[in-house]
């Protein structure tokens, strides 16, 4: 079959990646979707069992740092689009091992960019119909302060891009024109990769686009991250380690809404533009944790709040940013995107999914998910 487009999605076996792959495979049967993933600890092909036999889907186990391998794959599959999600993303791990983050996030991105450049430059149409879409993070912007406008204690009501009111912990937000101020090895590596993507547009004319997104939550997230980790710990009545006093604020976005935004921006976003994707949904960590406890307890038939005593305060993370908050006004005004779920609905769906998929959680926490697939793809 001749496909209308051939698109590589890197990191497609990861948390956000599997939702993007699933969306594209199901929504665009006329596209060939190539899931390029190294299958590190956070990559899990069990996340994609529902589409693994689709005719327009192909999985390729490969490191994005393998320049020759990526270049050959682009030639073999006549790739005209790359959606780049593959990254080391856990801040705690970056503090312990910054070299791995620099290698994957910086050199891996550069490998993909150079492979795309060399291949697309050989084609008669060159850049026409091509796109390199790089997914980044809000953490490259640094941190925002908890501000108190007009003497009002946060959280206070402010308007989102849609005009609806939401609670905020400050009157400043991350916008696309802010100067980068990364504070962790993870965010420094992502900032560097963002700069390389923009440089390939400015130097060579490559059609690129960059997005910076807030914290995602939802099904299939690796349980080193706060929400799936705490849901599982509450279920098994294990301690809930909270950094510092739990006062740090994050903006949360349901992962399916992020995938929707990626689809929209890949097809309709302007070349060389940056778009911020956020939920206008700020929560202090400690307040979010209390919502998780109440929700898990209720769904398990326990007295609501029965597991509040699991909260355990631990020494704060080094360089822990106080507040992240994305302003998605540009994306909403130019392309018409906005989140589809209120947080209460999204967190209910998320908790239910993890409680209903304990086998998935057990396989991930035990490491069995890696053993299941290692023989299947060892020769690919």
Contact 250/214 with Cβ under 8 angstroms?
A: yes
Residue in 138, 282, 307, 327 annotated catalytic: 138
- Radius of gyration, alpha carbons of the chain: 21
Handedness of CA 175, 176, 178, 183 (dihedral sign): positive
Residue in 139, 251, 307, 327 annotated catalytic: 139
Q: What SS3 state is found at 166?
A: strand
Structure tokens given for 193: 């990769």
Residues 6+ apart with CB under 8 A from 183: 139, 142, 143, 319, 321
Contact 91/320 with Cβ under 8 angstroms?
A: no
| 139 catalytic residue (yes or no) | yes
| 297 catalytic residue (yes or no) | no
Distance CA 311, CA 269 (A): 43
| 138 catalytic residue (yes or no) | yes
Structure tokens given for 17: 């990646």
The secondary structure of 1-19 as a DSSP string is ---SEEEEEETTTSHHHHH
Residues β-bridged to residue 174:
326
Active site residues: 138-139, 186
């Amino acid at each position: 079959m001749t496909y209308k487009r051939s698109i590589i999605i890197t990191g497609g076996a990861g948390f956000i990646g599997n939702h993007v792959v699933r969306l594209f495979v199901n929504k665009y049967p006329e596209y060939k979707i190539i899931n390029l993933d190294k299958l590190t600890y956070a990559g899990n092909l069990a996340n994609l069992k529902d589409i693994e036999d689709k005719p327009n889907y192909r999985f390729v186990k490969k490191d994005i740092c393998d320049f020759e391998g990526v270049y050959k794959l682009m030639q073999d599959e006549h790739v005209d689009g790359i959606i780049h999600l593959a990254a080391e993303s856990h801040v705690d791990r970056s503090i312990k091992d910054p070299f791995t983050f620099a290698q994957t996030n910086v050199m891996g991105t550069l490998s993909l960019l150079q492979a795309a450049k060399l291949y697309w430059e050989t084609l008669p149409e060159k850049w026409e119909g091509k796109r390199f879409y790089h997914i980044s993070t809000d953490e490259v912007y640094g941190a925002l302060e908890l501000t108190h406008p007009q003497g009002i204690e946060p959280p206070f009501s402010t308007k989102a891009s849609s005009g609806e009111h939401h609670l905020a912990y400050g009157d400043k937000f991350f916008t696309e024109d802010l100067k980068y101020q990364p504070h962790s090895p993870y965010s420094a590596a992502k900032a560097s990769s963002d700069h390389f993507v923009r440089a390939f547009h400015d130097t060579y004319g490559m059609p690129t686009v960059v997005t910076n997104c807030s914290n995602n939550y939802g099904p299939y997230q690796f349980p080193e991250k706060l929400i799936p980790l705490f849901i599982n710990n509450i279920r098994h009545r294990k301690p809930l380690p909270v950094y510092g006093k739990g006062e740090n604020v994050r903006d949360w976005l349901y992962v399916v809404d992020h995938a929707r935004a990626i689809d929209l921006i890949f097809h309709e976003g302007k070349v060389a533009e940056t778009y911020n994707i956020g939920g206008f949904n700020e929560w202090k960590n400690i307040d979010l944790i209390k919502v998780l406890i109440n929700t898990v307890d209720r769904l398990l038939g326990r007295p609501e709040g029965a597991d509040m005593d699991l909260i355990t305060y631990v020494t704060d993370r080094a360089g822990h940013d106080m507040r992240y908050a994305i302003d998605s006004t540009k994306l909403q005004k130019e392309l018409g995107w906005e989140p589809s779920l209120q947080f209460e609905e999204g967190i209910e769906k998320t908790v239910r999914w993890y409680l209903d998929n304990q086998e998935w959680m057990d396989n991930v926490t035990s490491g069995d998910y890696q053993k299941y697939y290692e023989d299947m793809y060892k020769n690919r």
